[in-house]
Amino acid sequence: MKQKIRTALISVSDKKNLSGVLKTLNKYKVKIISSGGTYKSIKQLGYPCTEVSKYTGFKEMLDGRVKTLHPKIHAGILHDRSNKKHIQEMNKQKFPSLDLIVVNFYPFQKIVTNSKNNKEIIENIDIGGPTMVRAAAKNFKNVLIITNKSDYSDLINEIEKNKGKTSLNFREYMSSKAFGLTAYYDAMIANWFNHKLNIKFPERKTIFGRRFKQLRYGENPHQKSSIYVNNYKDKELGLNQLGGKDLSYNNYNDIFASLEILFSLKKVAATVIVKHANPCGVAINKLPIISFKNAYACDPISAFGGVIACNFKVNKAIANEINKNFLEVILAKGFEKDALDLLNMKKNLRIIDISKYKQKKQTVIKIFDGSFLLQEKDKFIFNKRDLKFVTKNKPTLKELKEIEFAFNISKYVKSNAIVLTNNFSTIGIGAGQPSRLDSCKIAVQKAKQFQAKKIKNSIAASDAFFPFADGVQSLIDAGVRIFVQPGGSIRDQEVINAANKAKAKMIFTNIRHFNH
Which residue out of 40, 177, 233, 276 is catalytically annotated?
A: 276
Given a contact cutoff of 8 angstroms between Cβ atoms, the answer to whether 473 and 498 are in contact is: yes
Residue 482 CA to residue 461 CA, distance in Å, equals 9
What is the reported pLDDT for 53?
Answer: 81
Q: How far is the C-alpha of 137 from the C-alpha of 177, rounded, in Å?
A: 9
Q: Please give, one letter per residue, the 3-state secondary structure of 199-248.
A: CCCCCCCCCCCEEEEEECCCCCCCCCEEEEECCCCCCCCCCEEEECCCCC
| Catalytic residue selected from 31, 74, 110, 138 | 138
Distance CA(225)–CA(320), nearest Å, equals 34
pLDDT of residue 276: 94
Q: What are the CA-CA distances from residue 389 to residues 443, 459, 506 (Å)?
A: 24, 15, 6
Task: Give yes or no for a contact between 300 and 273, defined as CB atoms under 8 angstroms apart.
Answer: no
In the sheet where 418-421 sits, what is the strand order?
388-389, 505-508, 482-485, 459-462, 418-421, 426-430
All domains in the chain, ordered by first residue: 3-196 (3.40.50.1380), 239-353 (3.40.140.20), 384-508 (3.40.140.20)
CA–CA distance, 172 with 143 (Å, rounded to integer): 9
Sequence-distant (6+) residues with CB within 8 A of 298 are 273, 280, 281, 282, 283, 425, 426, 427, 428, 429, 446, 450, 451
- The string of pLDDT tens digits covering residues 485-498 is 999 999 999 999 99
pLDDT in the model for residue 495: 97
Q: What does the DSSP 8-state code read for residue 461? A: E
Q: Is the pTM of this model over 0.85?
A: yes
293 is catalytic: no
Active site residue 313: no
- Cα–Cα distance, 13 to 409 (Å, whole number): 48
pLDDT, mean of each 10-residue run, the chain (516 residues): 90 89 92 89 91 78 69 86 82 87 88 88 87 93 94 94 93 96 93 92 92 94 95 90 95 96 94 96 97 96 96 96 94 97 94 93 88 93 96 96 98 97 98 96 97 96 97 97 97 97 98 95
